[in-house]
A and B are shown apart, each in its own frame.
Chain A
Amino acid sequence: MKPRTLSGRYARTAYLFLLPAILFFAAFFYLPIGNVVATSLRTGPQADQWAGLGNYTQALADPAVRHSFLVTVAFAVAVVAGSIVLGLALAMAIDQPLKGRVAFRVLLLVPYLTSVAIVGLLWRNILDPELGVLNRVLLAAGLPAQQWLNTAPLLTIAAVTLWQSVGYTMVLFLAGLQGIPETYHEAAKIDGADAWRRFWRITLPLLAPTTLFVSVMAVISGLQAFGQAYIITGGGPGDATDLSVFHIFNVAFRTRDFGYSSAQSVLLLIVIVAFTLVQLRAGRRGEVVY
């Protein structure tokens, strides 16, 4: 940027343009977050008694909090890994000169357009072990009926999440692939590199920024997953799918301990910010992402 744009006049313009945004984020994000931090220092059903850091020390020692955090991390890892592998595979397939690629792109992205609540209800119905349509189809095909929500509950809700979001990831990778100049591949071909080697040596490194973006967004949304437990499993069986946000929600609205719930929210927030910073640092390759 040219040095003269640093002049105070442009700074004034910048702030003026930013004014609505600053007011908005202050009123609807920072004020409420400040409120949550204040609540996290209180206790009681009306959150009106001073507790100091009591809620935080309690949360750090609470086995249920630890368990729900581990469940959430496992869920996020499954979703991130699935998003990258499946999203990239589909993007590479659709990047080929095939007939009907636009149609495939639309079909794969369609589940992304509907709501988590509807997706949850729909899959709950489909997966029902006794009355659901999936087992009906499996039995008709001579395969054994399955109880996905009992035998592998966490993986199942991760798969449903992937089902909904993989089209979106695919489009992000597709955009990334189309940004790689064809000449790189051609040069590698002339050097005699096979397809596998070209993928590892050229495609993957040049896609790094996309992969980073996909994984950062998937981690953020994976750690915040809520509807999957709220609609599909109710956190069960037992506490197998007690995702952190669902757990925090229940502490607030079922157990009615807003102070304790707020403290856990703040802790989760810190974890998400930390994860994101670590990822950005690890993924930064001479390029500033923000």
Chain B
Amino acid sequence: MLLLIPLAGYLRRVRVYEAFVEGAAEGFQTAVRIMPFLVAMLVAVGVFRASGALEDCVALLKPLLAFIGVPPELVPLAVMRPLSGTGALGLTTELLASEGPDSLIGRTASTILGSTDTTFYILTVYFGAAGIRNPRYAVFVGLTGDITGFFMSIYICKLLFGP
């Protein structure tokens, strides 16, 4: 894409350098605009994590989810995924190392990481850039996607890779 776009542009007689700089200038303004939104969200998530509340939520959810057939190893990942991208990446790396990348847990964790996204981060960054303070029902919509993705990953991986 990095080669194709400028090349195609040049062939279609676009002033590629000037067009690039013009577009890039917008990027800078946007980055500055999202900062307050990002600080607000990351601080709240950071406090929730540092206090141990997140960990204990996970501990609380484990037996509940184990009851319906969810492997307890995957619960922390499910809770972390919408809140923190780097956190989820770290948890998956740990799971791949401890369980093995080709185990059922390893494959399921990979699928969860690959098919869902950090909802709160995207919400903060996108809506922050447009200056939107009231996201209405978007949080629910995003979380529905995450929850569906989590349960579907477990189901499909069991189907494809299970014993």
Partners in one complex: no
